[in-house]
Amino acid sequence: MLAASRAVRRLAGVMLVLALLGIATAQTRVTFSYTPPPEAPAITEITVPGSFNGWDTGAMPMARQMDGSWTVTVELEPGRHEYKFFINGAWPSNMCNDPTWGDPERNFWIDPAADGCVGDGFGGQNAFRDIGLATVPEVGPGVLHSPDNPAHLSRAGGRLSLRFTANRDQVVSAEAVVAGVSYPLHRQLAYRAREVWRVALPTEASSYSLRLTTTEGLLELGPFTVPNELFIDLPWVGSAIGYQIFPERFWDSNPAHDLDQLAQIALDTDYYHFLSERIWRQTWGDLKPTFTPGWGNELMRFHCCHQYFGGDLDGIVQRLDHLQALGVTMIYLNPIFHAGSAHGFDKFDHLQVAPEFGGREALQRLRDATRERGMRLLWDFVPNHVGVGHWAFQDAVKNGRASPYWDWFRFRVEPGQIEVGNGEHYGSWWGIGSLPELETRNPAVMAHLLEVTRYWTEFGFDGIRVDVPNEIRNRQEFFTAFRDTARAVNPEVYLVGEIWQRNPTWLQGNKFDSLMNYAIGRGVIAPFASGAMAGDSAAEDMAILYAEYPEASVSMQFNLISSHDTARLLSEMGGGPLFATPSPESLARHRLAAAILYALPGMPVTFQGDECAFLGAGGGPREENRYPLQWGKCNQEMVAHYQQLGTLKNNLPALVSPVIRNISGAGPLLAFHRGEPGPGELLAAFNHAATPQTLALPQGQWRDAVSNETLSGSLTITGFGWRYLQRE
């Protein structure tokens, strides 16, 4: 409670800052409507779970109308909102193609009013609607451009990034005119029926005009005024190499010490002690939290959450030589604060470092040791929910409406009736009763979370990764204030949102710098490298994302393939489950995937142990991908591969550029350019087939960045191979 009282004492000052921000959130009334097709089964009930209500299947019931349709009307903030119709107690897999519930006259879309669909993270598709977002004006026939749209104008790589979109093959040439000087644009990206043209301008430009030669003749557009406020990248991010650490399973700095002290702390504070016995038994039966000595050994059924191995922050310090040899300059730490489980996403106190990790003193040692090596630290922020042992939740359960924290949560039963752990008794994340949700629309809650943001930024963290931001109910208000709070302390703090799908609405310069780029890592790289996706499909998906994202954000993308929430990369490439012996092909595909990751603009992020070719499946209570790292079994050939990629990232200027161009693919081949056109630009090419493939080269001389071989005309890429070529 010491940290709780400290937070409360500072609350008044932070609430004043919050009020001074003067954030107004305009909401729009939105009606969701569903008309079942004639052949659909009988319907008993429909609800609308979505990102706007925490995916609560009971929060938004639809009402049946006289014409047979079902409707519900709500108010939503501006932004992209994902959702599904929950029909007769079940989820349709794909909102944009479902033969059972979709309309056959509209390509089986369940909701024709949706703006589109994106992956739901489980192999299906969520529908989405973009609410209250300004559309990009058509400034000429088929030509879209607006200087107020960050996707068309932002600042990246020390230059002004100017772009417009046009119909495919409509524009022959284009130039931007600034103060009488012409700057030629190049065709950057092409996808479906559209293409993107781009040029980098001097940052001092205050206005510009566009002159396009089209198939219909000359088109002069503008002048356009450069806005006073632009989305600007942080230069350090694009040159960084990232590494994700799940501290409990990374390394135990002192196993003998853990046996009699730190391990007992973890067991004594596990949420097992807070849940009702009925709820615990419902999930885990007779199992109880346990410490497993020996850094590995037995893997139990509740390995995900209540099996402790003793990893700590000093263990990270002991392994910094390994990370530095990989070229790592940014470390992303999964939750390190006092919590009720091994995964740490159920915070008991946002301001107290977990005692079993060594407390604040160990975190200070890690901060100082990384600074000495030129490394930065990023912490994991969970503003949506806490754990059942959180001081405010415990006070509210104990004192009911007399508690100053009663309104910090959404209780559904009367005081005295609350069963701790019962997700039906209070709002909780995905109905999991051990994770009560905070009511962030309460000014006191919001002020407390902003104080947490300020506190750890002042401590010296260089970045913040935010867990499930799409489930914050007042997300527009909250994340604008969040950005302002963090940037007021450190103008270069890096802000990343855990959004799994392609979603540019979060990247407008007022919320996040980047999203966790699963949309490329898991949506493109993993399926392409495994051989499940053809090159043309991979190229198209990549082009769409880079066309929609502002180049300032592209420059800072948090690029990853695997994480604590997914299977390990080698397992994804066919290497097998934990303890299996991976095949040579799976190892080669792993290397291919990593080479694509390092070739992208932004920061490549490796999940701990992937560089060692460790195996493990994600999901379920075992979460084998989080098994303690067996450092003695680290594959040194794979480590050398990652070291080589790190060296290339550091030595090739094009790999630090925000620019990605000319993405193309066919069959087993995928290729793209990095950097501005001309000498020094990089061509990255990849082959997911087992047999060698030939790729025609653009005109000119190219030097292989690995072999130093000079090439022209064409090149051969070995089976499961990759090449980085630099234009001479």
Active site residues: 467, 498
What pairs with residue 64 in β-bridges?
Answer: 70
For residue 545, give both structure tokens.
């994302």
Alpha carbons 192 and 548: distance in angstroms, whole number? 13
**Between the CA of residue 11 and those of 14, 15, 16, 391, 524, what are the distances in Å?**
5, 6, 9, 15, 44
Residue 185 near residue 174 (C-beta atoms within 8 A): yes
Question: What interhelical angle do 584-599 and 636-651 show, nearest 10?
Answer: 20
Beta-ladder partners of 606: 243
- According to DSSP, the β-strands at 463-466 and 79-83 are unpaired
CA atoms 102, 106, 107, 112: torsion sign: negative
**How many residues can be counted in the chain?**
728
194: tokens are: 């559209």
The rounded distance, in Å, linking the Cα atoms of 306 and 299 is 11
User: Can you read off the two tokens belonging to residue 237?
Assistant: 């991010």
Q: Are 423 and 321 in contact (CB under 8 A)?
A: no
Structure tokens at 171: 């524009």
Task: Give the Cα separation of 52 and 70 in Å (integer).
Answer: 19
> Whole-angstrom Cα distance, residue 209 to residue 195?
19
Beta strand pairing call for 710-711 and 693-696: unpaired
Burial class (CB in 10 A: 0-12, 13-18, 19+), 606: buried
* Rg from Cα positions in the chain: 26
Name residue 437's beta-bridge partners. 385
Q: How far apart are CA 600 and CA 560, in angstroms?
A: 10
DSSP element (H, E) containing 339? none
Non-local (6+) Cβ contacts of 634 within 8 A are: 609, 611, 612, 613, 614
Chain-centre distance for alpha carbon 3:
30
The 10 Å Cβ neighbour count of residue 327 is 20
What count of Cα atoms within 13 Å lies in the side-chain half-sphere of residue 221? 22
Q: Which strand ranges, in their side-by-side order, compose the sheet holding 710-711?
A: 660-666, 669-674, 682-687, 722-727, 702-704, 710-711
- Cβ 308 vs Cβ 267: under 8 Å: yes
Give first-to-last CA distance, the chain, whole Å: 63
